[in-house]
């Protein structure tokens, strides 16, 4: 009798263990699809486009910062790139709102999502930023940071303007706005949370060059101590 009970108990444990493993496997497989499912969505493409525009702008901004005297051609390029970033903030906000809403609707707004972001970012410098804060907090905090993008762009443009500006470029509406801005001239910087989300968007659509460029800028601008408030 005891042997029969032991055999039944052993069989029960085996079945229970198999069931648990099966449920965990299903959950992990489902979790792995979170980011894969949205890779081709309009929301991700919107974030990736912003990342590309931001990368171009910051590349030119760093070049302008390094030059002792700027030429009109570089300033015009910088102006055009800055306009793209500023014009893209509304679409960025809309894309992120849609992205977060999608995760929540599919019941994917959980720790598994945070883990997938970390896996996606692999060995990028920004990975530690996401590990400390969690993807959900980063995606939530960026909404407030988007409001500062125009001011950050203007701050960078003031640096360029002070380097030397031709009359033709200086007469543009954009530069008149920059001069009128209360944003102080400072080193080329951007909100860490904005950079982080832009890198995520570029990485997800496999725009490696853009992701690498922004990741390098994140490392120089934000460093290991960055949090979502900076």
Query: Would you give per-residue pLDDT tens digits along the chain (230 residues)?
Result: 555 544 554 444 444 444 444 443 333 444 458 898 899 999 999 999 999 999 999 999 888 877 766 678 888 899 999 999 999 999 999 999 999 999 999 999 999 999 999 999 988 999 999 999 999 999 999 999 998 999 989 988 887 777 654 434 444 444 444 444 444 444 556 889 999 999 999 999 999 999 999 999 999 888 766 777 67
Whole-angstrom Cα distance, residue 98 to residue 181?
Answer: 31
Whole-angstrom Cα distance, residue 226 to residue 230?
Answer: 6
What is the pLDDT, as a whole number, of residue 225?
A: 66
Whole-angstrom Cα distance, residue 196 to residue 217?
Answer: 10
Task: Decide: helix, strand or coil at residue 114.
Answer: helix
| Residue 6: both structure tokens together | 């032991």
Question: Which residue's structure tokens are 């009128």?
Answer: 180
Domain extents in the chain = 1-38, 42-221
For residue range 90-134, what is the model confidence (pLDDT) as tens digits?
A: 999 999 999 999 999 999 999 999 999 999 998 899 999 999 999
Count of CB atoms situated within 10 Å of the CB of 136:
17
**Checking phi first, is residue 132 left (phi over 0); if not, alpha (psi -120 to 50) or beta?**
alpha
Q: Tell me how far the alpha carbon of residue 202 is from its chain's centroid.
A: 8
* CB half-sphere exposure, 56, CA atoms < 13 A: 17
């Amino acid at each position: 009798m005891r042997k029969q009970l032991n055999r039944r108990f052993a069989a029960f444990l085996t079945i229970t263990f198999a069931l648990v493993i099966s449920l965990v496997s299903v959950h992990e497989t489902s979790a792995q699809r979170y980011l894969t499912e949205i890779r081709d969505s309009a929301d991700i493409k919107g974030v990736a486009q912003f990342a590309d525009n931001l990368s171009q702008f910051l590349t030119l901004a760093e070049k302008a910062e390094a030059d002792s005297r700027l030429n009109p051609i570089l300033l015009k390029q910088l102006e055009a790139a800055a306009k793209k970033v500023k014009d893209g903030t509304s679409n960025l906000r809309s894309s992120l709102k849609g992205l977060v809403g999608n995760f929540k609707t599919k019941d994917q707004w959980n720790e598994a999502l945070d883990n997938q972001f970390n896996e996606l970012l692999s060995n990028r410098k920004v990975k530690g930023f996401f590990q400390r804060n969690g993807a959900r907090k980063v995606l939530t905090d960026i909404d407030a940071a988007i409001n500062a993008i125009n001011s950050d762009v203007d701050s960078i443009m003031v640096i360029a303007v002070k380097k030397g500006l031709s009359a033709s470029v200086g007469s543009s509406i954009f530069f008149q706005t920059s001069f009128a801005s209360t944003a102080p001239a400072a080193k080329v910087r951007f909100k860490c949370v904005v950079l982080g989300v832009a890198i995520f968007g570029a990485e997800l659509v496999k725009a490696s060059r853009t992701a690498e460029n922004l990741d390098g800028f994140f490392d120089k601008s934000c460093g290991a101590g960055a949090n979502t408030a900076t």
